[in-house]
Amino acid sequence: MPERNSRETPLADGPRQVGHILREERRHYQGPLPQPQDFAAYERVLPGAADRILSMAEHQATHRQGMERRALSGDIVKSMMGTVLAYITFGGSMYGAVYLLLHDKPIQSLAAFITALGAAFGPKIYVDFIQPKDPQPLALTP
């Protein structure tokens, strides 16, 4: 009688048979276009399908690049508008502080001056000291 974990199994009418070895192969492909052999298969099943697939991929790439271009332009405009509005706020507050100081309103002038400084330096202080920091990734050394 064969051992319990043996791959050999006895046959009723003769010699022992060796167990089967199963080999499994998997292929994984990821990308916007099928592999070349798949293109040929698409073309065999539906003539012109390969050209349609390429056209679809080109349109998608053009669309994605346009969206990225608009997003980048929007980020630049948003950044510039933030800077411009900060300068306007700072200048207006400084003007108000000087105006109030010249018209014998020292307390109100101080409040306007503090507002101007807060508008100018507040965002920088927030980013450097208050805003939570992302954990730094560990650098790999060779």
| C-alpha to C-alpha distance for 90 and 83, rounded to whole angstroms | 10
Distances in Å between the alpha carbon of 112 and those of 97, 106, 115, 117, 123? 5, 10, 5, 9, 17
Q: pLDDT digit string (tens) for 116-135? A: 888 778 877 887 887 777 77
Q: pLDDT digit string (tens) for 9-42? A: 555 555 666 677 888 888 887 877 888 888 889 8
pTM over 0.75? The answer is no
Residue 6 binned pLDDT confidence (cut-offs 50, 70, 90): low
Q: pLDDT digit string (tens) for 67-113? A: 999 999 999 998 889 888 878 888 888 888 888 888 888 888 888 88
pLDDT of residue 12: 56
Give the burial string for 94-110 (b: 16+ CB within 10 Å, else e).
bebbeebeeeeeeeebe
